[in-house]
Amino acid sequence: MFVLEGNVEIGSYRFNVIHELEFTKSVDDLVDTAIIKLPTKFTVRQNNVLKFTEEAIKVGDKVSITVGYEKKHSAVEFVGYVKKIKPTIPIEIHCEDAMWLLRRKNVTKAWNKPTTLKEVLEEIVKDTPIKLATNIPSVPLDNYIIRNANGTQALQELKKNLPFAIFLNDKNELYCGLRQLTNIGQKVGYDLNYNLIENNLEFKTKEERKIKVRYTYTDAEGTKKEVEFGDTGGELRSYRTAIISDEATLEKLAKDQIDLSKFDGFSESVTTFLIPFATRGMKAKMIDQEHTNREGNYFISKVKTTFGVDGARRVVTIGAKL
């Protein structure tokens, strides 16, 4: 028998009675988020004092969420900080990962000569507990300026100009680069005819995935450079940048997007219970005994987990075939 168990630690308080949890981790979103729904009042164990939840919990409190099944699986699946408190019934605690710390850091810096992506990222995380991931790609940037922005705003501006995933991995390291390079070396298996609650996968061939990628660089005077690769008449994916003028780099970025997007295989998502465990960056092995030619390994780009009185689910979104 599978019996759900979970607890939430917020500041110095620990809650075992949880109305509902929802947390999302994605390589495509800058911030991992969680929403915790709790009773509006709770009793402190040490002295039996009754407290209002919204008065006991403060913005900025450290948060840790553990979920699983009794004696079968239990893991800390979200660590972050309280971002805001909504005094609803039940009360909602909205949380972010350590990007919350970068929101509170002001960044102003001008590079008056060409720089690199890594140098800009180092400036953004400087004087915080956040470190850079070791696999930041070598990308040249033109003269670059960050004007009175907080850390997350500075990262959002980079994300507008680069076709890269930017997020904090589970080691609390800032990653910026191609999504598939965030693979964490772990694997989960899904039998498409057995251990799924819901299967929303769609199989397409490489030929059916007609895609064209266009990169456009525009300088301060309005002069443009443009590169384009892909299928004639394919779905156009346009990217604009004001920080990369090197044509060879633009061409590489465009070709990388094509290589990632064209493959024989599945897209979309599957819905499962809490086990098998899955998180973004893992490899999903799809097993289909009825169509063995469709089996293969895929990159997990996003996982949304819910937990509460109605049970627990994971919606696992897959990306490129590995």
Instruction: Give the CA diameter of the chain.
Output: 71
175-214 pLDDT, tens digit per residue, is 998 887 777 778 999 998 887 999 999 988 888 888 998 9
**CA 87 vs CA 57, 84, 97, 132, 281: distances in Å:** 11, 10, 21, 36, 35
- Tell me the per-residue pLDDT of 166-176, one tens digit each, with 9 for 90 and over: 999 988 899 99
Strand 198-199, strand 187-191: pairing? unpaired
Indicate if the pLDDT at residue 4 is higher than 80.
yes
Joined together, the tokens standing for residue 123 give: 């400036």
> Which of 102-106, 110-114, 143-147 has the highest average model confidence (pLDDT)?
102-106
| Measured distance CA(36)–CA(40) in Å, rounded | 12
Instruction: State the pTM of this model.
Output: 0.88
Paired sense of beta strands 50-52 and 311-321, if any: unpaired
The per-residue pLDDT for range 139-163, each reduced to its tens digit, is 888 888 999 999 999 999 999 888 8
Q: How far is the C-alpha of 202 from the C-alpha of 265, rounded, in Å?
A: 8
Sign of the four-CA dihedral 181, 187, 189, 190: negative
